[in-house]
Amino acid sequence: MKKSKGITKYNLKWQIIRSNIKGAGVPLENKLKTVNSYFEEEQTQDAYERVLNYLEGLQMGYRGKNQEAVDRIDLETVKYRQMDPSTLTKETNSFISLQDAVAYSYEDRSRLWKDLFTRNKKWLEKGYIQKEINDFMDVLNKLFIQNNENMSKAYSYERLEALRKEAGTKENTHKFFF
């Protein structure tokens, strides 16, 4: 799904949810239940796009491995595609703030940080500097500093900064899926 103008996937609530249900250890039905609950709570164009994008990516991960899962995700995707997102409200402020971030536990925030760090590292190593993820991570880092919370060296902000600096000297070779 192509990202719509003015909609960010770097919404704190969404990113916490997404990182908490990531991985093979979470059953598919739990993932689907969780993203559907998120959409029911939010009921916005932004949440609609986030969930549909997530479902499309999730389905790609199962292709060629588990046709039953692909078919199950397809049922959910069809359900969302039948909706008219223009009838939903638009979020007015969907980006992260320190006030929002303090509501989440260190465990949730550090899990999210490590997930985003890994994704961003892959992009940065290919010379792709994605502004939204970097801005989002900068705000998370401010809270870690404010709370005197540290990441291991492997996920440190200093390492991220070094990757960013190096990425600025490279040609972008990142390939997008869509």
Per the prediction, the chain carries an average pLDDT of 92
The rounded percent of the chain whose pLDDT value lies above 70 is 95
Task: Give the orientation angle of helix 12-20 with respect to helix 28-42, to 10 degrees.
Answer: 170
Whether 1 shows a pLDDT value over 70: the answer reads: no
Residue 14 has pLDDT above 60, yes or no: yes
Distance (Å, rounded) from C-alpha 37 to C-alpha 140?
A: 25
Res 51 pLDDT > 80: yes
pLDDT at 178: 44
- How many helices (H) does the chain have, and how many strands (E)? 8, 0
Interval 113-149: pLDDT, tens: 999 999 999 999 999 999 999 999 999 999 999 999 9
Strand segments (E) across the chain: none
CA dist 128 and 6 (Å) reads: 21
Question: How far from chain centre, in Å, is Cα 169?
Answer: 26
Cα of 78 vs its chain's centroid, Å: 22
Percent of the chain whose pLDDT exceeds 90: 82
Structural domain boundaries in the chain: 12-87, 98-167
Q: How far is CA 153 from the centre of its chain?
A: 23
